Structure formats: structure tokens, C-alpha cells
Copies of this chain bind each other. A is one copy, B any other.
Amino acid sequence: MTVTDPVDLRLVDLHPALGDPALTSMNFLNEVSERYPAAVSLAAGRPYEEFFDVASVHRHLDAFHRHLVDELAYSPEQARRLLLQYGRTKGVVHHLIARHLAVDEGITVDPEAVVVTVGCQEAMFLVLRALRAGPTDVLLAVAPTYVGLTGAARLVDLPVWPVAGGPSGVDLADLRAQVGRARAAGLRPRACYVMPDFANPSGVSIDTTERRRLLALAAEEDLLLLEDNPYGLFHLDDGARPPTLKALDTERRVIYLGSFAKTVLPGARVGYVVADQRVADADGRIGPLADQLAMIKSMVTVNTSPIAQAVIGGRLLEHGCSLVPANTRERAAYSRNLRHLVAGLARRFPDRGDGPAPVRWTVPAGGFFVVVTVPFPVDDALLDRSARDYGVLWTPMAHFYDDTAQVCALRLSVSAVTPEQIDVGLDRLSALIIDELARQPPDLTCGRS
């Protein structure tokens, strides 16, 4: 690369998503954490690593191979072909995923309605690509929104319309209003994206009554729901899990997005989508939406690595396809961390009873995330200062809103740290907050949280 030949392509000549904050914000967050490796990270939403084990990869591969030969009566050649050759676009562990959904979630699903994907991200991408038929299509999404959803929508040129989340997890009146507004503007809302359990980033869960209301509203408004459920298993030890939307869905309104990144391991890059909606294909034959998603998948990744699928399949087989017992230790660690973080916040910011508390936080019933609201704007510059001068990382909530309005909140994650790191991180965070409060008069009406 010579000085006289500085640039081959201009960003403006590439797809517009490439300059968009939905795609660049992840990069920014990664760069900050790389620049300050000594900082305690309450930012990373990665699963807990302590129980990871390379030997388990070999064990799971063998278990799935035995399953093929012993239980499904594959010949050695057939088993070898399934694991190593090109294969079924919709995947090879679909039957085990269907069993897992029956056992753990009470969801009855035809394995043919399952597409095994390269992580939940590809599942999201395939669904959005399928649903975006033309320029008048829009996607509704509960805000604040997982940035991977917004980024995938950008790549298929699908605008995302925010729907207020609020304390119940989804503001149904606002959802109805947004559908009306979109339709009045000549647009077609294709679906509403929602993470009903311990949402990323809000940590909020939708209760069973509201889930039923959401389904009823979807039926009234003829809307699909995209249910994303990466954290549902991680309720506090004593918590009861509400049924998923898909378990309550009697009208095929729900497209269910599943992940094994948190419940098994991220390195397999295996997720899935349940899409049992009936679609007539080009020849008039009726099949599940999954078949259409598979057609798209064949042109994006062809199929999900059967070796990676076998790792997940073996893990599922190890516990009778239930991931609840498989995650006993992980759940205990996350519960311990979540309680420790919330107690640590309460100790450091006691409510002195004189008016509204300047620093507030959510107390989720599970999951990875706590949102802290402060009476000053929280932006990337503050994160940079926090990392450099205080040695603690977190995520500005502004990254989860698809606009540039001021946000006065930050997301803390408990998933990839120890209680000791939480203590150090909170000490540093509270020093930052106290210094910021001293630097500027608190603004209790400041922006969104």
C-alpha cells in the first residue's frame, strides 16, 4: 500500500448499512474494551466461561454419532456422510430441537418447521429477508432493541419502527398506535420483534397476562410476532418461568427464534427458527415458512455445519434434550451474580428519602442485564472516560435506540464476571457517577432510560 494510492473504494459506494450506527456501534464497543484490557467489564453479554471444557466437544460429537448409529440405525457410511458431506439445508438436529422445545418449553412443533441456523443471528436475518418484500414494508420492534436485530434489518433495507417497551415489557397501546400510524402512512407492518424473557438490554420480562394480550392484539391487527428467547432459562433460582409466546400461540402468529449460545456454548454458532406458518409455494404446494427460509439460507450459508450441529445435538442428548438440568451450575452462577450486583447497587446508592432517587436501577427476575438510570446523559464519550480513568466498562443504553436522542442510562451485565469483579466494577462505577454528579447539576427529567 503506497501513499500515492490511498483508497480503492469509498464507503459511500458500498451498501448504506456500512456507515450506519446499527453496524458500527458494536465495533466501537469492542474497540473500547480492547483499548482498556485492564478495565473490569460489566459490558460483555457473553456466557460464563468457568464451566467450558474443550473435552466436551469431543464427547458431544461422539454422543451424536452414537445417536445416529444406535438410535437412528444409520450405517457408518451414512453417519459419516451426514457429519462431513453437504447436507440438509434445514439441518440435522431439528428432531432434537423439537424434543427440547417440548420438554423445556411445552412447545409442540413439527421438526419440519425448524430451520437450524448459524446462530440466532442468521435466524433473525433469514426471517427479515423473507418478510421484506418491498419498500413499504416495516418492522416493529420493542424499544430499547437488541442491536443485532436493528443491524440485520438494515442489511435488508427494512425500517425498524420502535414500540414503547415500558415497565410491562411491551406497551400494547403504543403497539396498536404504531400499527395504525404505519398503515395510515401507506406502510405495511410485517411483524413485531419482542424478547419476552429478560430482554436484552432492558432485563424486563412480560408476564403471562400481557403475553396473552399481546397474542390477542397480534390476531386483531393481523401481525406476526418474532419471539427471541436467548435468556428464558436463566430465571432466578426461585423464579417460575412464564410460558413462551410460542407455547401460547394457537394461530401460528409467532415465529420463534432460538439460541444455544447461552444454554450450550457460543462457539458452535448454532441457533434455530421455528416457522410453522403455512405458505403456498410457487407451485401452489403448501409448506411451512421454514421451507422458504431454507431456500434463502441455501444462498446465504448453504447449511449449518453438521459438525457444529453435532456438538449441540450431543449436548442435548446428554440430558434427555432438556437444557434445564444441563444449566444448573450456570443458573446458580447467574443468579448469584444478579443478586450480588443488585445488592451492591443498593449498598452504594442508598435511597436517602429526600425526593426521587438520582440513581435508580431495574431488579430483573433473571437474565444477564440490569439497567442503571442516572441524572445525566450517558454517551460514548462517558464510556471512554469510564474505561480510561475509572477502569470499568458498561454499555450506554443509547446504543439500543435507533435514533440520536439523549439517553441517561447504562446497561450492566452479570454474565461473564465473578462476584469479586462485580464489587470492583461497582466501586469504580459509583466513583464515576459521584464525580459526574459533582460536575453537573443532576437532571432528573433527563432523556430516556
Contact at B57–A61, with CB atoms within 8 Å? yes
Stretch with Cβ within 8 A of B (4 or more), from A101-109, A298-306, A352-360, A440-448: A298-306
Q: Indicate whether A240 reaches chain B with its CB closer than 8 angstroms.
A: no
Contacts A52-B80, A151-B298 given; does A129 touch B15 at CB 8 Å: yes
Q: Indicate whether A85 reaches chain B with its CB closer than 8 angstroms.
A: yes
Q: Which of B12, B84, B301 contacts A121 (CB 8 A)?
A: B301
For A301, the closest partner residue in chain B by CB is B118
For A56, the closest partner residue in chain B by CB is B84
For A46, the closest partner residue in chain B by CB is B86
Q: Indicate whether A18 reaches chain B with its CB closer than 8 angstroms.
A: yes
Q: Once the chains are docked, how many angstroms separate the CA of A81 from the CA of B53?
A: 9
Residues of B within 8 A of A265 (CB): 84-85
Contact at A85–B49, with CB atoms within 8 Å? yes
Contacts A15-B129, A279-B11 given; does A86 touch B261 at CB 8 Å: yes
Stretch with Cβ within 8 A of B (4 or more), from A281-289, A328-336, A371-379: A281-289
Q: Indicate whether A133 reaches chain B with its CB closer than 8 angstroms.
A: yes
Copies in the assembly, this chain: 2
Q: Once the chains are docked, how many angstroms separate the CA of A84 from the CA of B37?
A: 20
Q: Indicate whether A419 reaches chain B with its CB closer than 8 angstroms.
A: no
Residues of B within 8 A of A118 (CB): 118, 269, 301-302, 304-305
A235-273 residues at the B interface, CB under 8 angstroms: 251-252, 261, 265-270
Contact at A133–B16, with CB atoms within 8 Å? yes
Contact at A23–B295, with CB atoms within 8 Å? yes
Shortest C-beta distance, A154 to chain B (Å), equals 7
Q: Indicate whether A119 reaches chain B with its CB closer than 8 angstroms.
A: yes
Q: Which of B8, B11, B296, B298 contacts A282 (CB 8 A)?
A: B11
Contact at B81–A54, with CB atoms within 8 Å? no
Contact at A299–B84, with CB atoms within 8 Å? no
Shortest C-beta distance, A95 to chain B (Å), equals 18
Contact at A10–B280, with CB atoms within 8 Å? yes
Contacts A85-B266, A125-B299, A301-B269 given; does A8 touch B119 at CB 8 Å: no
Residues of B within 8 A of A125 (CB): 299-301
Contacts A119-B302, A299-B151 given; does A292 touch B18 at CB 8 Å: yes
Contact at B133–A14, with CB atoms within 8 Å? yes
For A52, the closest partner residue in chain B by CB is B84
Q: Indicate whether A6 reaches chain B with its CB closer than 8 angstroms.
A: yes
The interface centre, meaning the residue of A13, A18, A286, A299 with most chain B CB atoms within 10 A of its CB, is A299
Q: Indicate whether A1 reaches chain B with its CB closer than 8 angstroms.
A: yes
Residues of B within 8 A of A172 (CB): none
Binary per-residue interface labels of chain A (12-32) against chain B in the complex, 1 for a CB within 8 Å, 0 otherwise: 111111110011101100000
Q: Once the chains are docked, how many angstroms separate the CA of A148 from the CA of B299?
A: 6
Q: Indicate whether A307 reaches chain B with its CB closer than 8 angstroms.
A: yes
For A299, the closest partner residue in chain B by CB is B151
Residues of B within 8 A of A326 (CB): none
Q: Which of B154, B278, B304 contacts A299 (CB 8 A)?
A: B154
- Listed in ascending order, the chain A residues whose CB lies under 8 Å from chain B are 1, 5-19, 22-24, 26-27, 46-47, 49, 52-54, 57-58, 61, 65, 77, 79-81, 83-87, 118-119, 121-122, 125, 129-133, 148, 151-152, 154-156, 251-252, 261, 265-270, 277-282, 286, 289, 292, 295-296, 298-308, 311
Can you identify 6 A-B contacts, CB atoms within 8 angstroms? Answer: A7-B286, A8-B279, A9-B278, A121-B300, A155-B300, A269-B305
Beyond contacts A119-B301, A122-B301: 13 other A-B pairs, Cβ-Cβ < 8 A, are A8-B277, A9-B279, A10-B279, A14-B133, A14-B279, A24-B295, A26-B298, A49-B77, A49-B84, A52-B84, A121-B301, A267-B307, A307-B307
Q: Considering the complex of A and B, which 8 residue pairs feature the smallest CB-CB distances, nearest first?
A: A151-B299, A269-B305, A84-B267, A8-B277, A118-B301, A305-B308, A86-B266, A52-B84
